[in-house]
Amino acid sequence: MHTPRRNFLIAAAVGALGLGVRSAPAIAKARPRVVIVGGGYGGAACARHLKLWDPRVEVTLIEPSPHFVSCPMSNTVIGGLNQVEDITFPYRYIREAVDRFVRDSVTRIDAGKRNVTTASGHSFPYDRLVLAAGVELQFDQVRGYDAEARKTIKHAWKAGPETVALRRQLEAMKDGGVFAISIPMAPFRCPPAPYERVSLIANYFKKAKPRSKILILDGNQDIISKKALFTTAWEKHYGFGGDDSMIDYRPGNLASAIDAKAMKLSTEFEDVKADVVNLIPPMRAAAVTALVGARTGDNGTWCPVDHTTHESSEAPHIHILGDSILSNLSKAGALANNSGKLCASALVEIFNGRRPDPAPVVTSTCYSASTDHTAFHVATVFRYNPADKSMEVQPGSGVSDRESELEFEMMRGWARNIWADTLGLPENYRFTNRV
């Protein structure tokens, strides 16, 4: 137990560091309160590790969904390799870990009074607020992509019912039909995911609908992630580049309009018709970040943060995780998981009157399947550089030399490990995913 003199010295040290935290005596008397909005890879990992590393912290996690459905690996459902149940997990173990799990949505944040209000009218005070709500899909950036059109035209960029709906549309499509996928301009959540989706749909078509075609309308000028690996796999398995290619790739073709009744997708250069359209709209930081004025970077699209703590550069005492941040870090599940743990570590240091790590390291590993039995990966290590306040790629980072069956098995193990780490799944948890 701290003596009064000990408390005084800690308080003085905190003040000298200039940390925006309550004094050490106040911390000693009261449990620090952290409210986390969003139970995805970033929010769940942050909540769980906060309680692991400092059980004294009072953690409230607010998440509207009843289950965790993984966006990483959801393309295996669309490709017919897994069922959506295989990538769906209970929040049971997170519920048991935190002090309060609230199934609700946040509608108001009073940053001055440090208080969060939910749709059901409940309020939760905080000392630190963590926003980990992912991305907001900007349907209004594509003319005609309204609520009625979305009944037919699926984005499937949030795993769940949309994932299942797109899979069913592919199953119902006639052999010889056309599947069109529209990719927004970067940055967007999970850069390699659209190209992996193409690979797994092509794998399905090759076996079940061999006369069918895939049309890629990419808003970017080229494949933006793992280009050599994807194109090599497409050439080998799906005839890419040849006269009988199953895949037609058209770069610099950003979707501008959709006619859902006519199944017509329009770009600046052409109108195309397809039997199934997968239209992925542009994205920006989650709407909840706008409630506190944190969405200021890149023309009001993403949220700048201090990479040592993930505290917002615009909103004190508010931390932002995962896909919402303005950064050179990829918007990927592994990095959201890592940023959640980094933020948890920083909060533990702050609450205990210590300075967070001034040069933290985060890692990211991302696998992509190219067929129903081969895959490849990119693995990156980032370290914070105080000189330019950015995360720098470290030596040793890189991509696979080639696709392989071994990496396909490693992808399966990677998925199970990150699910268990994020959600606190027990060692005897019964996974059902075949891939």
Enter the DSSP assignment of 325: B
In the numeric block, the tokens 């897994």 are attached to 82
The verdict on 222 and 315 lying in the same domain is: no
Enter the DSSP assignment of 427: T
pLDDT tier for residue 20 given thresholds of 50, 70 and 90: very low
Residue type, 251: P
- Number of structural domains, the chain? 2
pLDDT tier for residue 330 given thresholds of 50, 70 and 90: confident
Per-residue pLDDT of 342-362, as tens digits, reads: 999 999 999 999 999 999 999
191 domain-assigned = yes
Residues 6+ apart with CB under 8 A from 354: none
Per-residue pLDDT of 89-119, as tens digits, reads: 999 999 999 999 999 999 999 999 999 999 9
Q: Cis link prior to 187 (omega < 30° from 0)?
A: yes
More confident call, 244 vs 29:
244
What pTM value is reported for the model? 0.92
Residue 46's domain comprises 4-11+21-137+284-358
In this predicted structure, the answer to whether residue 384 has a pLDDT above a threshold of 70 is yes
The verdict on 267 and 171 lying in the same domain is: yes
Q: Tokens in use for 193?
A: 């995911």
Final residue before a domain boundary, out of 343, 358, 373: 358
Per-residue pLDDT of 142-178, as tens digits, reads: 999 999 999 999 999 999 999 999 999 999 999 999 9
Q: Residue 24's closest CA among 324, 349, 259? A: 349
Q: CA dist 34 to 62, 98, 100, 119, 363, Å?
A: 11, 10, 11, 19, 25
The verdict on 243 and 127 lying in the same domain is: no
The verdict on 291 and 196 lying in the same domain is: no
Q: CA dist 146 to 33, 137, 152, 279, 339, Å?
A: 40, 12, 11, 12, 33
Residues 281/286/288/292 CA torsion (nearest 10 deg): -110
What percent of the chain is predicted at pLDDT more than 90? 92
pLDDT tier for residue 33 given thresholds of 50, 70 and 90: very high
What percent of the chain is predicted at pLDDT more than 70? 93
In this predicted structure, the answer to whether residue 220 has a pLDDT above a threshold of 50 is yes
105 domain-assigned = yes
Mean pLDDT for 16-44 is 69
276 domain-assigned = yes
Q: How far apart are CA 109 and CA 55, in angstroms?
A: 25
The verdict on 165 and 212 lying in the same domain is: yes
The verdict on 227 and 338 lying in the same domain is: no
249 domain-assigned = yes
Strand partners, 376: 368
The verdict on 133 and 144 lying in the same domain is: no
240 domain-assigned = yes
Mean pLDDT for 402-429 is 98
Mean pLDDT for 123-143 is 98
Q: CA dist 268 to 180, 255, 261, 323, Å?
A: 16, 8, 20, 28
Query: Around Cβ 174, how many Cβ atoms within 10 Å?
Result: 10
The verdict on 311 and 300 lying in the same domain is: yes
pLDDT at 159: 97
β-pairing, 115-118 with 106-110? antiparallel
The verdict on 224 and 255 lying in the same domain is: yes
The verdict on 232 and 308 lying in the same domain is: no
CATH of residue 277: 3.50.50.60
Enter the DSSP assignment of 154: B
Contact (CB, 8 A) for 126 and 103: no
Q: Residue 237's closest CA among 189, 190, 203, 195? A: 203
pLDDT at 24: 42
Mean pLDDT, the chain, as a whole number?
Answer: 93
The verdict on 111 and 89 lying in the same domain is: yes
The verdict on 183 and 59 lying in the same domain is: no
More confident call, 218 vs 24:
218
More confident call, 434 vs 415:
415
267 domain-assigned = yes
379 domain-assigned = no
Final residue before a domain boundary, out of 306, 324, 358: 358
Mean pLDDT for 62-70 is 97
Per-residue pLDDT of 266-318, as tens digits, reads: 999 999 999 999 999 999 999 999 999 999 999 999 999 999 999 999 999 99
Residues 6+ apart with CB under 8 A from 175: 208, 209, 210, 211, 212
73 domain-assigned = yes
Final residue before a domain boundary, out of 281, 296, 313: 281
